[in-house]
Structure 1
Amino acid sequence: MADIGSILVEGVVGVLLREKRLTVATAESCTGGLIGDRITNIAGSSDYFMGGVMSYSNGVKEKILGVPMSVLETMGAVSSECALAMAQGVRRLLNTDIGVSATGIAGPGGGTPQKPVGLVYIALSADGYERVERFIWSGDRIQNKRESSEAALKILLEYLQSL
């Protein structure tokens, strides 16, 4: 069960999406669908949440979301460029107003000195607006996924509050 603070984030996001008549979709790698799960914990979320793509593999990132192979080969799947392309791609694929993505290294393995465990990029793409944030979490795999989903929802909330 989510704590009161996280329920409030999802709830406020839902209220604002409904009020502004906007739709959202998610493209998730390291969070494994947790952002979409949290959005859909709010009753009536089908009014504004169109769906998500869990894109763990580079093949799904490229073939389904349209992340350019050049980005995957030169910058890597864990990069600001990939996160932004994922958010743009899911927005285009599911024809939504907003796309939110997360890509990173949840742990406990997979990190390098350049890209340590806990490194996550979260992106938001909307008409005339794009944002990518970089985070390095220090928890275990589950904590890193939770922190990433919370950060993604807060980025979405900040965007909606700015409209």
Structure 2
Amino acid sequence: MNTLQCLINLLKEKGLKIAVAESCTGGLLGGALTSMPGSSEFFEMGIIAYSNKSKIKLLGIRDATIHEYGAVSENTAKEMAINIKNTAGTHIGVSITGIAGPGGGSRDKPVGLVYIGISMEDNTYIYKHCFGGDRASIRKQSVLSALEHILSLLVEER
């Protein structure tokens, strides 16, 4: 059984609801989670907030966080995960923010830099990745990694 199916089965088994806030993946995580029949049992909502303005307006990211740390940062990923969980009223909030390329990277924040945030109960976990490949590959790796991190946290919780 693949990671996605294992995660979906575990979410259903535990009666958990999940919400996602995505930037560089543009809805791919939400799409993966809702690709199976019965996803309404565990999937509450997803927000694609691509611009800084939308992150602030739709996800409640503090303007100061964006200005001080940038949209692609541990701090922004953390706020995105916590805020989507609280907005949706779910058990789990997941965020993905990064630089999928081919442009937009810098020496400090290269193309392929992705932060994944997972907020569960009173804990928020941040995972930093530096993926290689083209835009499509970086986006796919981001989604697969998010699914693996969520599954790992839920398995540890058992």
TM range (shorter): over 0.9
Residue 128 of structure 1, CA deviation = 2.0
- Runs (4+) of structure 1 exceeding 3 A deviation are none
Which of 136, 154, 160 is equivalent to 2:154? Answer: 160
Q: Corresponding residue for 1:145?
A: 139
Secondary structure in structure 1 of the residue aligned to 2:133: coil
Alpha-carbon distance in 1 for matches of 2:6, 2:68 = 38
Q: Give the total of aligned pairs.
A: 157
TM-score, normalised to structure 2's length?
Answer: 0.97
Query: Which AA in structure 2 matches 1:75?
Result: Y
- Counterpart of 1:108 in structure 2 is 102
Residue 14 of structure 1 is aligned with which of 8, 12, 23? 8
> Are 1:52 and 2:46 counterparts?
yes
Instruction: Report the TM-score when normalising by structure 1.
Output: 0.94
Structure 1 residue corresponding to 2:78, chosen from 79, 84, 94? 84
Look up the SS of the partner of 1:64 in the other structure. Answer: helix
* Deviation of the 1:107 alpha carbon: 0.3
| SS state at 1:162 partner | helix
CA contact (8 A) 1:10 1:42 kept: no
- Residue aligning to 1:23: 17
Q: Give the letter aligned to residue 152 of structure 2.
A: E
Residue of 43, 54, 61 corresponding to 2:37? 43
Q: Secondary structure at the match of 2:116?
A: strand
In structure 2, which of residues 28, 36, 41 is the aligned counterpart of residue 34 of structure 1?
A: 28
Between the aligned partners of 2:122 and 2:14, the Cα distance in structure 1 is 16
Task: Note the C-alpha offset of 1:63.
Answer: 1.2
Counting aligned pairs with the same residue, the percent is 42
- The CA distance in 2 between the partners of 1:73 and 1:66, in whole Å, is 14
Cα pair 1:83 1:101 within 8 Å, conserved: yes
CA apart distance, 1:41? 1.1
Q: Which residue of 1 aligns with 2:126?
A: 132
**1:8 Cα deviation after fit:** 1.4
Distance in 2, Cα, partners of 1:34 & 1:9:
15
C-alpha separation in 2, matches of 1:129 and 1:90: 14
